[in-house]
Amino acid sequence: MKQFLGFLVKEFYHIFRDFRTLLILFGMPVAQIMLFGFAITNEVKDVKIAILDESKDNITKEISSKLLSSGYFIAYDNLKSVKDIEPEFRKGMIKEVIIFEPNFSGNLLKLGKANVQLIADASEPNLANMIVGYTSSILMDYQKDLAKSGDIRPSINTDVKMRYNPNLKSVFMFVPGLMAVILLLVSALMTSISITKEKEIGTMEVLLVSPLKPFQIIIGKVIPYLLLAFVNAFVILGLAQFVFGVPIAGNTVLLLLESTLFVITSLSLGIFISTISNSQQTAMMVSLGGLMLPTIILSGYIFPIENMPIPLQIISNIVPARWFITIVKSIMLKGAGFEYIIKETLVLAGMTVFLIALSIKKFKTRLE
């Protein structure tokens, strides 16, 4: 036991003396979540719009105030005439103009039909699409309200409903994927590098010719990274909750337990990689190319699995992060209990057992 503790102390020296790696380990989760949370959003918030109201009746005023109080839009300017639209767009000050035709309420109430024109700045097509979509759905809402009060039948009935993320907050969707990527990176990449480093600098030779048992070497390598990964999981969840207000709908303990399972899966992947590579560089290439890319692309983190071609969907089954992301989404966003994620949990556990068995079989007690 003393031997093992001595080994563990040494591992912690390695980690805490390598300042740059440490900075990456703890800086990266924070940087990434901030990046995804603040910068790379695809949600509509405080978009500047202009309203050209040529009717100025009760209904147009009501619609305008509904638009502006939605939180998606803020009024930049109320235009005087159609001629003013072009210059404002050119200046880039507004993203959308809403034009109500003259005698809007009269037409709507008498003819049952009134025209409103939406002009959007489509130099950013995605954003323009979204803004128009949001605006139309607000108009539709109003139309429906009117219909309830009796006189006019709504001709269009659109049902816009976003389950689990009603406001389309993208940070909600990124947190589970981010957890998977960070935990995988810390666990698999760092462990595989740390074991191959001993091979590369020749210390493995000395360690092998010592009474230390192979499993003591492996466990000693794994424990520090298990702890680091756990700290990272806490940091990500904490930031998600307190900075971005992502709720944890389900059981936090269950979430942490599942995260631990995924960390162990990743660690066993890392050990496996280290048994098949002889240099830190190989280990890094295998980890980044063989793990990071599939994890980002095939796990449903960024691209939905349902939209992939069938062969890729099949391949995605062997990516551990795919199962973990499903678990995290279920617990965090849907508040699902353990009974809903048994299948995913079993898949991860199975992968872990398989990888550990393989690693122990491949771990060499000699140099060949």
Partner 1 sequence: MYIVEVKNITKNFKDTVAVDDISFEVGQGELFGLIGPDGAGKTTLFRMLTTLLKPMSGYAKVLGFDIVKDYKKIRKHVGYMPGRFSLYQDLSVEENLKFFATIFGTTIEENYDLIKDIYILLEPFKKRKAGKLSGGMKQKLALCCALIHKPDVLFLDEPTTGVDPVSRNEFWEMLRKLKEQGITILVSTPYMDEASLCDRVALMQKGKTLSIDTPENIISRFKKPLFAISSENQYSLMQNLLAYENRDTIYPFGDFLHYTDKRENVSTDEIMKYIESLNCKKITVKSIKPNIEDCFMALMEEN
Residue 123 three-state SS:
coil
The residue from 150, 166, 202, 304 that contacts partner 1 (CB under 8 A) is 202
Name which of 45 and 213 has its Cβ closer to partner 1: 213
Give the shortest CB-364-to-partner 1 separation in angstroms: 9
Residues of this chain, 79-98, that bind partner 1 according to CB under 8 A: none
Selection from 70, 143, 60, 139 nearest residue 106 by Cα: 60
String marking each residue 162-201 x if it binds partner 1 according to CB under 8 A: ---------------------------------------x
Residues 25 and 228 sit within 8 Å (Cβ to Cβ): yes
Distance CA 146, CA 55 (A): 18
Query: Exposed (0-12), middle (13-18) or buried (19+): which is 55, by Cβ within 10 Å?
Result: buried
Name which of 159 and 368 has its Cβ closer to partner 1: 368
Q: What is the CA radius of gyration of the chain?
A: 28
Query: Exposed (0-12), middle (13-18) or buried (19+): which is 284, by Cβ within 10 Å?
Result: middle
What is the size of the binding site for partner 1 (CB under 8 A)? 26
String marking each residue 6-25 x if it binds partner 1 according to CB under 8 A: xx-xx--xx--xx-------
Question: Letter for the amino acid at 109?
Answer: L
Contacts of 296 (CB under 8 A, 6+ apart): 177, 181, 302
Name which of 194 and 268 has its Cβ closer to partner 1: 194
279 touches partner 1 by CB under 8 A: no
CA atoms within 13 A on the CB side of 149: 6
Which of 60-68, 177-185, 202-210, 230-238 is the region at the interface with partner 1 (rule: CB under 8 A)? 202-210
Name which of 55 and 194 has its Cβ closer to partner 1: 194
Which of 4-12, 63-71, 109-117, 290-298 is the region at the interface with partner 1 (rule: CB under 8 A)? 4-12
215 touches partner 1 by CB under 8 A: no
Would you tell me which residues interact with partner 1 (CB under 8 A)? 2-3, 5-7, 9-10, 13-14, 17-18, 201-203, 205-212, 365-368
